[in-house]
Amino acid sequence: MAIDKQKALLFGAAAAIRLLLFAAFPSLPDLLTGRVEISTPVTSFKRLQEGLFLYTHNVSPYDGGIFHQAPLLLPLFSLLPDIRAHPLAANLLYILADLCSANALMQIAETAESVSSRLFTSPRKELRWSSTAIAAGFLFNPLTILTTLARPTSVFTNTFILLSIAKACTGSAMTMIIALSIASYLSFYPILLFPPLVFLCYDAEARRSPKNPPNPWNFSLFHLSDLLVTTGALLYVSYLLTGSWEFIPSTYGVQLLLPDLTPNVGLWWYFFIEMFDSFREFFLGVFWLHMASYVGGLSFRLRKQPLFVVVSLLGIFAVFQPYPSIADVTLYLGLLPLYRHVFPLMRYTFPAASALLYATFLGPAFYHLWIYAGSGNANFFYAITLVWSLGLSIIIADALYAVLRDEWEAERPEMRGKDVRQI
Amino acid sequence: MVSLGPAVLGLRRDARILKLPPYLSALCILVGVVWLLLLPLNDYSRQTYVSENALLPGQVHTYFGGSEHNVFRAYRHEVHSLVDKPNEERVTKLQEIFRSAGLKVATQKYGYEIGGRSIKGENVYAVLQGPRADATEAIVLVAAWRNMNGEINHSGVALMLTLARYFKRWSLWSKDIIFLIPQDSTAGPQAWVDAYHDAQAGPAVEPLSLKSGALQGAIAVDYPAGPWGHRFEKLHIHYDGIDGQLPNLDLFNTAVSIASGQTGIGCTIQRMYKHDDSYKDRLQTMLRGMVNQGLGHATGPHSSFIPYHIDAITLQTVGSGWHDEMTLGKTVESLTRSLNNLLEHLHQSFFFYLLMQANRFVSIGTYLPSAMLVAANFSITAIALWVQSGRPPKPAAKPFSTDSKDEGVEPEMTLVKEGDMTALVPASAFEIVERKLFLPVAFVCATHFLGLIPLYLFNRVSESALYPTFFLTALLTPALPLLGAYPFVTSLRPTLQHLHLIQCFSLLLLGLFLSALATLNFSLAFLVGLAAAPLSFVRPVPGKPRIALAAALVLSLVGPGLLLCVVGRPWLPSEALGGLLKGAVEAWAVNHAWTLQVVVWLVWWPAWVEGAAVLAVSGFVEAD
């Protein structure tokens, strides 16, 4: 009961601080909605409103090339009262999504999957934070709060990703698949999380009935077909809703082919602005292949800890996906505290965290110089997004190192605390 | 990373490494300051030059003169006759004159409420539609009714009226020209330029009924000579914008080159009327420029234009000499012709520069390192404190003791290999203590949020309460850490590591904010960096409450107390300080100038409070 009280208090405080910010600074959400660091062409709330306007006026929302988000968001938001006149309903929806995310995060933490999976138990398993602390870390992260205030649709993607991870940890395969297909339907890239999530789910099933674990191949194939069926169903409903398949090129096509080069915190936009058109297809292939290639490698190498594969992949996607924003980073930073036990093994936390902090402040300053003051140029902002990505990738790589080292020390306890050198 | 990693890690374990940072920090500050002092030398600053070819400064013949002089004198008397008349009559008359010259005229009323005082006024402006223009671009010529010193701008306004009539006859304008006569020099232009971009604050500022295209540049004229005229000696060019933003250097250079080259008027900047091109004068000009930039307030009617990316300058006449209004008119004509030539927005030349004379400057690449070095000194100390906070409290036993009677546990030794060399080092040197981050992070965040209180207070209290509020803040700032230290220790039981981490995060944030600020407002970043420099050298003194409290008191006195003594100067009449505070509040409310106040209250003030608090608290914390 005590824990429930704690949880209620935490969620109440998180909701209150968001409501307070929404109410006290009515112009803040619109300001943040316009920030390129938070809103990307495929998640922006402003673009969603444009799509919504066209939709409610019986024009195809994808006409005009502004709206690139999943069609099913439209009926959801058209149910709400007019957003400009009564923003409260939409705001509450976003706050609710955040709380659901935090709830899923708590479920993940409570399974203790991060310290002891089916195939591996960390020698440092005593060292972990309570689920409430982890949820608090997510809910009170300033980046999360800013994201909620800016209301990009990536908030929902994050919720469904966390939900599918939580369900995978508890072995509810069907719910996991449904949540994952909704997340992929909304943002496309989460579909890459399928292999580690299936491993995670399989481990949970196998742990539940250690006597006769399900056949891994059958299990994977069955759920792959599940995923195809649910995603197909979502797409078909969208087809019925919009009356044509044209939403596919406008949503997933945009993710794949990058026609909109609005600046963001990622690495793609500048690269593709600079590139000659004849190389475009080739490098699109290279960039996507690079991002997707982590899935196979990490899933195999860290087969014993599939949850960590998911976490690392989310961090990698936050750096390397075509339209990243700080919303993706909040997801990674929210999940990372599950690995509290390997923090002492990380080596570059302070420099990497400082680099991130510097980038957080220099990014908006340089963007201001480029766009508003006119005294800087695009290189200023791109340079700082490079620093941001560098900081993130150092944290990701360092966490990966720490987990591998932890695994190695479980195998060879006598090496604990010894200096190692990679040769 | 692979080859670098072990070397860096090896370095981290060197015991001497922690002794180095204070010296390194001091060196950074020293080099930063010396760097700045070197800038006025010939080897480090450069002669200015016009980079934008389209400007062609002084390449056109100017025709302003002859009978225009009579027109000018007549208008000057008209202006003089309006001085004591009510506002409506003034506005009507000015409108009438513009209209008779064949221009479209409109007016705009504006009002601001600041701390119980209200600023009200009305702008008059006229648009000359360029015969070759398509109303997509415009140039603004400004003459405020009252200049920055509150004098009536007789000749400046008369010159605008004459130029409007004169320019109307030419067919060569390829941009619209807007003649603006705001009632005062700060609020009026701000209200107008805000409304031009539909960004006016509240209903008290009217929207504009008449507009033209995108504004390419603005030139303000300040020539307060009365109805009988006054011959001036030099042109004093103001170029500082709100929040320390500057106009493109090309505009400034064009003005200087036209004034000195074509019309033969000497130019001067930053109130350095007697500039003998010596090192001392250059340095003084540069420092005055930096103070103006750091304050980020309006220095003329042009200042409000710059945040909208409209390059603008004010030409002010100074001294007594032999240049008359017609020479000034020709200068403005030639300058307008140059701007009229522009094919695109000014972008070629520098936006970040320090001027040390009308024709000498340093660009950002040369001067930025000095501010960055000052900011870096905080980061260095922060990193050192982070490393220190991870050290185990005490080195374990004597590692090289041969005394076998030592019954204590044999210290665990580790073999370290670095290249060919091998050493036996106590294992404790490798240990990193777990850092307790929650309390330090919470404390630093809380202190920074505390800065919102004075920020809010100063911009909300009535004008008469500004001075008392300032004194209260100045008194409470040193008192806060001293009185708060004991309760803080008894309730939260901080350890020495906590204090190290508090200071680490505090300095990290300071360095972070200052380096971000250096890209926006170099001067402010540099000055605030210097004003916070002692914080890098403060270290906790555990277990000595008296020394700690005394040191904290001294620190507080040299810190925010410094503000009280140098800026406030208790021996000055309270109006001087009051005027400064009033100016800052007005700039915040009217001109949206935010950097100075935000930086002082949310960056500099919290850093001092944290520094003093660490020192005060450390007295009650046990040494390891």
For residue B14, name the pLDDT band (cuts at 50, 70, 90). low
- Among B293, B328, B300, smallest CA distance to B314 is for B300
In this complex, do B351 and A374 lie within 8 Å of one another by their Cβ atoms? yes
Strand B104-114 to strand B117-128: parallel, antiparallel, or no bridges (unpaired)? antiparallel
Vertex B403 angle, CA B398 and B406, to 5°: 75
Taking the CA of residue B314 and the nearest CA in chain A, the distance in Å comes to 19
Taking the CA of residue A419 and the nearest CA in chain B, the distance in Å comes to 9
Using only C-alpha atoms, chain A has a radius of gyration, in whole angstroms, of 21
Res A166 pLDDT > 90: yes
For residue B280, name the pLDDT band (cuts at 50, 70, 90). very high
B13-49 burial code (b ≥16 CB/10 A, e <16): eeeeeeeebbeebeebbebbbebbebbbeeeebeebe
Q: Quote the CA–CA distance of B40 and B367 in Å, as a whole number.
A: 11
A19-38 burial code (b ≥16 CB/10 A, e <16): eebbeeeeeebbebbebbbb
For residue B432, name the pLDDT band (cuts at 50, 70, 90). low
Distances (CA, A) of B438 to A124, B334, B409, B442: 21, 64, 34, 6
Which pLDDT score is estimated for B475? 80
In this complex, do B307 and A373 lie within 8 Å of one another by their Cβ atoms? yes
B544 class by beta-carbon count within 10 Å (0-12 exposed, 13-18 middle, 19+ buried): middle
In this complex, do A417 and B430 lie within 8 Å of one another by their Cβ atoms? yes
Which pLDDT score is estimated for A269? 94
Q: What are phi and psi of B166, to 5 degrees?
A: -70, -45
Per domain, the residue ranges of chain A are 5-412
B432: chain A residues, CB-CB within 8 Å: 344
Q: Quote the CA–CA distance of B363 and B354 in Å, as a whole number.
A: 7
For residue B451, name the pLDDT band (cuts at 50, 70, 90). very high
Q: Quote the CA–CA distance of A177 and A197 in Å, as a whole number.
A: 9
In this complex, do B351 and A347 lie within 8 Å of one another by their Cβ atoms? no
Q: Across residues A131-153, what is the average pLDDT?
A: 94
Which pLDDT score is estimated for B381? 93
Distances (CA, A) of B422 to A118, A371, B89: 42, 56, 93
B9: chain A residues, CB-CB within 8 Å: 347, 419
Strand B46-47 to strand B360-363: parallel, antiparallel, or no bridges (unpaired)? antiparallel
Q: Which residues of B touch A (CB under 8 A)?
A: 2, 5-6, 9, 245, 307, 309, 345, 347, 351-352, 379, 383, 386, 414, 416, 427, 430-432, 434, 508-509, 512-513, 515-517, 519-520
For B115-162, write each residue's pLDDT tens digit: 788 899 999 999 999 999 888 999 999 999 999 889 999 999 999 999
Res B574 pLDDT > 60: no
Of A354, A362, A417, which has the smallest distance from its Cβ to B508's Cβ? A354
- Among B522, B500, B511, B515, smallest CA distance to B378 is for B511
The answer to whether B300 and B229 are in contact (CB under 8 A) is no
B520: chain A residues, CB-CB within 8 Å: 365, 368-369
Q: Across residues A342-348, what is the average pLDDT?
A: 90
- Among B294, B511, B373, smallest CA distance to B33 is for B373
Q: Quote the CA–CA distance of B533 and B611 in Å, as a whole number.
A: 11
Of A350, A358, A369, which has the smallest distance from its Cβ to B512's Cβ? A358
Half-sphere exposure of A22 (CA within 13 A, CB side): 22
The answer to whether B522 and B352 are in contact (CB under 8 A) is yes
Of B2, B379, B512, which has the smallest distance from its Cβ to A361's Cβ? B512
Res A168 pLDDT > 50: yes
B515: chain A residues, CB-CB within 8 Å: 358, 362
* Neighbouring C-beta atoms of residue A310, cutoff 10 Å: 26
The structure tokens listed for B517 are 């600020």
Q: Across residues B536-552, what is the average pLDDT?
A: 87
Q: Which residues of A touch B (CB under 8 A)?
A: 344, 347, 350, 354, 357-358, 361-362, 365-366, 368-369, 372-376, 380, 417, 419, 421-422
Q: Quote the CA–CA distance of A28 and A39 in Å, as a whole number.
A: 14
Taking the CA of residue B418 and the nearest CA in chain A, the distance in Å comes to 12
B446 class by beta-carbon count within 10 Å (0-12 exposed, 13-18 middle, 19+ buried): exposed
B517: chain A residues, CB-CB within 8 Å: 365
Q: Quote the CA–CA distance of A331 and B138 in Å, as a whole number.
A: 48
For A180-228, write each residue's pLDDT tens digit: 999 999 999 999 999 999 999 999 999 888 888 889 899 999 999 999 9
For B62-118, write each residue's pLDDT tens digit: 999 889 999 999 999 999 999 999 999 999 999 999 999 999 999 999 999 887 888
Taking the CA of residue A38 and the nearest CA in chain B, the distance in Å comes to 20
Least CA distance to A371: which residue of chain B? B309
Q: Across residues B434-459, what is the average pLDDT?
A: 90
In this complex, do A361 and B351 lie within 8 Å of one another by their Cβ atoms? no
In this complex, do A368 and B520 lie within 8 Å of one another by their Cβ atoms? yes
Taking the CA of residue A320 and the nearest CA in chain B, the distance in Å comes to 21
- Interhelix angle A378-411/A326-335, nearest 10 degrees: 20
For B286-338, write each residue's pLDDT tens digit: 999 999 999 888 999 999 999 999 999 999 999 999 999 999 999 999 999 99
For the question of whether the overall pTM of this predicted structure is more than 0.90, the answer is: no
* Segment among A131-140, A167-176, A414-423 with least mean pLDDT: A414-423
Q: Hey, which residues does B417 pair with through a beta bridge?
A: B422
Which pLDDT score is estimated for B407? 45
For residue B398, name the pLDDT band (cuts at 50, 70, 90). very low
The structure tokens listed for A399 are 């966490």
For A113-137, write each residue's pLDDT tens digit: 998 888 899 988 888 899 999 999 9
The answer to whether B464 and B596 are in contact (CB under 8 A) is no
Distances (CA, A) of B594 to B134, B190, B587, B590: 36, 15, 8, 11
Q: Quote the CA–CA distance of A322 and A187 in Å, as a whole number.
A: 11
For residue A44, name the pLDDT band (cuts at 50, 70, 90). very high
Per domain, the residue ranges of chain B are 15-40+369-392+427-618, 55-281+298-346
User: A147: part of which helix (H) or strand (E)?
Assistant: helix A142-150
Which pLDDT score is estimated for A286? 95
Which pLDDT score is estimated for A377? 87
Res B404 pLDDT > 50: no
- Label each residue of A338-383 as H, E or C: HHHHHHHHCCCHHHHHHHHHHHHHHHHHHHHHHHHCCCCCHHHHHH
Taking the CA of residue B385 and the nearest CA in chain A, the distance in Å comes to 11
In this complex, do B427 and A374 lie within 8 Å of one another by their Cβ atoms? no
Q: Quote the CA–CA distance of A67 and A52 in Å, as a whole number.
A: 9
Q: What are phi and psi of B348, to 5 degrees?
A: -65, -45
Q: Across residues B371-389, what is the average pLDDT?
A: 92
Mean pLDDT of all residues in chain B? 87
In this complex, do B520 and A365 lie within 8 Å of one another by their Cβ atoms? yes
Q: Across residues A168-182, what is the average pLDDT?
A: 94
Q: Quote the CA–CA distance of B517 and B505 in Å, as a whole number.
A: 18
Residues in chain A: 423
| CATH superfamily placement of domain B55-281+298-346 | Zn peptidases (3.40.630.10)
For residue B456, name the pLDDT band (cuts at 50, 70, 90). very high
The answer to whether A245 and A239 are in contact (CB under 8 A) is yes
Q: Hey, which residues does B91 pair with through a beta bridge?
A: none
For residue A74, name the pLDDT band (cuts at 50, 70, 90). very high
Better-scored residue on pLDDT, B467 or A332: A332
Taking the CA of residue B437 and the nearest CA in chain A, the distance in Å comes to 12
B86 class by beta-carbon count within 10 Å (0-12 exposed, 13-18 middle, 19+ buried): exposed
For residue B12, name the pLDDT band (cuts at 50, 70, 90). low
Q: Across residues A259-282, what is the average pLDDT?
A: 92
For B217-258, write each residue's pLDDT tens digit: 999 999 999 888 899 999 999 999 999 999 999 999 999 999
Complex ipTM value:
0.86
- Among A196, A166, A145, smallest CA distance to A309 is for A196
For A82-110, write each residue's pLDDT tens digit: 888 888 999 999 999 999 999 999 999 99
